[in-house]
Structure 1
Amino acid sequence: MRYLLRAEPSPGLLPRLLQPLAKRDLTPDRLRASREGTAMRVEISVTLPEGMVHLVAGNLRSVVGVVRLEVEQGRVAA
């Protein structure tokens, strides 16, 4: 599962994005973040049960600063 986000850059953004996983005792398989001008692009790849996909997506959408969220299902690239 991959969550692709666009967000406003801020010092606390990445910890806020990891919180929905941490509270479910999940660790991301991959976390990539880069600043692109006035926005942050973040990719979070994680293996999780099918039933949690939309719960985590909803939590990520509600994070302060998140402007856009896409969910890609499939295998996590190594």
Structure 2
Amino acid sequence: MSVPSDPAAPVAARFLVLADASPGLLSRLLQPFAKRDLTPDAMRAARQGEVMRAEIALHAVAAGYVPLIAGNLGQVVGVRGVQTLLSEAEEDRLAA
């Protein structure tokens, strides 16, 4: 799914992050959400040697926030890459 043209349209988004494993990384990854008053619906992280893989999911977020959050995640110290996966918002599927 591509980002809807309406920035207010709800989408489900998952942010996949690869970063250097370091103390404080996970709290730094949550800051882009907190500053927008968003609470992730799920977060999973696993250390693999010197790197940490994290997945942060939102079931419904305004589409306009997605590129902003991805950009902020990419600016976190130690982050090597961010991938964003979008799908239809969970709330839309539950209402159908």
CA distance in 1, matches of 2:61, 2:71: 15
Structure 2 residue 66 is the aligned partner of structure 1 residue 53: yes
Higher strand share: 2
1:12 is matched with which residue?
24
Identical columns (%): 52
For residues 20-60 of structure 1, the C-alpha deviation after alignment (integer angstroms, 9 at most, x for no partner) is: 00010000010000001110000000131000100001100
2:8 is matched with which residue?
none
Dislocated runs of 4+, deviation >6 Å: none
* Pair 1:42–1:74, CA change in 2 (3 A): same
- Partner of residue 79 from structure 2, selected from 41, 66, 71: 66
1:22 is matched with which residue?
34
2:54 is matched with which residue?
42
Give 1 or 2 for the bigger CA radius of gyration.
2
Secondary structure of 2:87's match? coil
Deviation at 1:75, TM superposition (A): 4.8
Deviation at 1:76, TM superposition (A): 7.3
CA RMSD of aligned residues (A): 1.4
Structure 2 residue 14 is the aligned partner of structure 1 residue 2: yes
TM-score normalised by structure 1 residue count = 0.93
TM-score normalised by structure 2 residue count = 0.76
Aligned length: 77
